[in-house]
Amino acid sequence: MVALAVRPAHADDAANTSARPFPRGYHSYRPSDDSKAMGIQLPRWVWLGAVSLSCVAGMINVVGYLGFEHQAVSHLTGTTSLLGIALVENDRPSILHLWGVLIAFSLGAMISGLIIQDAALQLGRRYGVVLALESLLLFASVPLFKQQQIWGALTAAMACGLQNAMATTFSGTAVRTTHLSGMFTDLGIGLGHLLRGLPLQIRRLTLSGMIISGFLGGGIGGAWLFGRLHYDALLVPAVLTGLIGIGYVGYRQWSMATSHGPRSSLK
């Protein structure tokens, strides 16, 4: 789900912000009232990152689904339902496996929260560290899937938890990239507003459509790769995640250098 709830700029919040100044070049995003009325208005790096990561999640989920007992690893709604069925049927192996996936995803989200630490959208936070860790987990999941499927699924689920919590952190509470319920909900709300003659939040609907398309495209690519590479198909999202992390770090450094340039020229 992709979420956009950025910390409100109240007077007390502004005071707190001024008490904790960020280094020059680290930009915090706070939308104006006009941009809120028009819908989502995010920096370009967030748009690119959200769509790219949704594509990665689509690949991971398809490979996990095809390779591990037809169970999703990028979101937990179906897994929780299957756990309920397993508990009623007293299917102990399934109970252990399903609990493991839930715990692994939550553990990944916890690690992401420990690393990034703040829910405010800000260029300069350690998203690159989280992406690097996700990439390593995906690389590690390949041999684990080949040796014992449950451990590969747990590692992939942890990687998805890392990614989902990171996207929530840099996008607020409305934008997540490993499942699409929120995206389709936003599209449905937009259609309802259109039928009532209410103004449409074009940017929000555009972002929802882009993330849905990215996830679908990743799923198509993941299925095609799995048919040819089997578990080695996960090497592709592992590499892509690493490249996204490198791209983010490079953009951050460029942004810092650009903001420092005019200042230094005045000295």
**pLDDT of amino acid 248:** 80
**How do the pLDDT tens digits run along the chain, 267 residues long?**
444 444 444 444 444 444 444 444 444 444 444 344 344 556 777 778 788 889 999 999 999 888 877 778 887 888 899 999 999 999 999 999 999 999 999 999 999 888 887 655 555 567 888 899 999 999 999 999 988 778 899 999 999 999 888 766 444 446 677 778 878 888 898 889 889 888 877 877 888 888 899 999 999 999 999 999 999 999 999 999 999 888 888 877 887 778 765 544 433
The reply to whether 13 falls in a domain is no
Whether residue 90 is contained in a domain is answered as yes
Within-domain flag for 77:
yes
Measured between its terminal Cα atoms, the distance across the chain in Å is: 46
pLDDT for 171? 47
In this prediction, residue 164 carries a pLDDT of 83
Is 196 inside a domain boundary? yes
CATH number of the domain within which 81 lies = 1.20.1250
Q: How many domains does the chain have?
A: 1
Task: Decide if 15 is inside a domain.
Answer: no
Residue 6 within any structural domain of the chain: no
Is 160 a member of any domain? yes
Structural domain including 116 reads 46-248
Rounded Cα gap, residues 176 and 195, in angstroms: 27
Query: What six digits make up the tokens of 121?
Result: 């959208």
Evaluate whether residue 193 is within a structural domain: yes
